[in-house]
Amino acid sequence: MEAHAASSSAATPRAGIRLPGVGAGLGRGAVVLYLSLIVLLPLAAVVNQSLEGGIDAFWSAVTSPQAVASLKLTVICSLIVVVINAIFGTIIAWILVRDEFPGKAAVNAVIDLPFALPTIVASLTLLALYGHDSPFGIDIAFTRTAIVVALLFVTLPFVVRAVQPLLLEMDREMEAAAASLGAGGLTIFRRIIFPNLVPGLAAGVALAFARALGEYGSVLLFAGGLPETQVSSVFIRSQIESGNDLGASAVSVVLLLASLLLLASVTLIQRWGSRHERDGDGGGLTTMPMSGDVVTKKEADDE
């Protein structure tokens, strides 16, 4: 709504802190220049490098057996991971919103640990925990299962943080009505709760999928770079090290395209979700469920 106010006041002089016409232009120029230098030019260099030998060379680099194997492995592991974390993320969000138990605040805080803990540390400790000297006797190091576990760790917060605010916002009366009409717990979840969670779940899954596709650090020590555990990021690294810039860039471009598609889908999901729920559209700017901050604001509103 504020964005709307700002836009309609373009003709009037008073609209909060606004730079004068020239200043806004300069600021915009600075932002565009900064983003170009820091983000866009480097990415353009990757695309340029991948097409250095023409489209045929690009295609044969992408379809080389090793590249295809790494992409396939990455996509399959990432799909498994987002399905598991969609289920467990929803369960965790559920107990954080609807359940009461001692230590809930601490559990809520620790959800963000994978965002704060360096990925290489995660990899090292997962190796100690589920490797050769596992205290649980579970040795999955240097296997495809290790890739899945590492990715489960790093993508855990996305679905929880995307679903949690929707659960908090949800109107409990509909559930009560359904229950009074004789619906069981499962029916209520399937017919009433789940449809309301879909936008958050979809956005969280898309972000988790993007993260999983590109993950490197957490996989490195735990799953290693054996031929059968080589995910795309590890493959790209090995290509850089052996001086094959074309092979590295070509697979990178495939990952880049996947990232762009997933980000675009998150934006579309949010537009679609916000049309159902909120009056303000946030000026069309995206929000990212990257931490618990959204949740706390909603909690504050409720009190």
Partner 1 sequence: MSSSTASRWGLRTLGLGYLALLLLAPLVLIFFKTFEDGISPPLDAITSPDGLHALKLTLIMVAIAVPINTIFGIGCALLLVRHKWKGNGVIDAVINLPFAISPIVIGLSLFLLYGTDGWFGPALADLGFEVLFSVPGMVLASIFVSLPFVVRETVPVLQEIGTDQEQAASTLGANAWQTFWRITLPAIRWGVAYGVVLTTARVLGEFGAVTIVSGSINGKTQTLPLFVEKQFANFQLPGAYGASLVLALLALTTLLAMNLLKRKEA
Interface of this chain with partner 1, residues 116 to 145, rule: CB under 8 A? 116-122, 124-126, 128-129, 135
Nearest in space to 50 (alpha carbons), one of 263, 259, 237, 254: 254
Stretch that binds partner 1, among 59-67, 140-148, 252-260, 271-279 (CB under 8 A): 252-260
Q: Find the part of the chain contacting partner 1 (CB under 8 A) among 58-66, 109-117, 170-178, 190-198.
A: 109-117
CA–CA separation, 213 vs 224, rounded Å?
16
- Is residue 225 a contact residue for partner 1 (CB under 8 A)? no
- The total of other beta-carbon atoms located within 10 Å of residue 33's CB is 10
Q: Is there binding between residue 32 and partner 1 (CB under 8 A)?
A: yes
In the three-class reduction of DSSP (H, G, I as helix; E, B as strand; rest coil), residue 10 is classed as: coil
Q: How far apart are CA 120 and CA 216, in angstroms?
A: 9
Choose which of 6, 68, 177, 268 interacts with partner 1 (CB under 8 A).
6
Q: Which residues, 6+ apart, have CB-to-CB distance to 92 below 8 Å?
A: 111, 160
Among the residue ranges 60-68, 75-83, 166-174, 291-299, the one whose residues contact partner 1 (CB under 8 A): 291-299
For residue 17 the two structure tokens come to 């802190």
For partner 1, the binding residue among 81, 86, 162, 255 (CB under 8 A) is: 255
CB atoms closer than 10 angstroms to residue 208: 27
Cα separation, 162 vs 166, whole angstroms:
8
Binding partner 1 (rule: CB under 8 A), the pick from 64, 143, 145, 267 is 267
Q: Which CB sits closer to partner 1, 76 or 121? A: 121
- Asked if residue 226 binds partner 1 (CB under 8 A), the reply is no
Residues 49-108 that bind partner 1 (CB under 8 A): 49, 88, 91-92, 94-95, 99, 101, 107
Nearer to partner 1, 33 or 68 (CB): 33
3-state helix, strand, coil in the chain (%, to 5): 75, 0, 25
Nearer CB in complex with partner 1: 39/177: 39
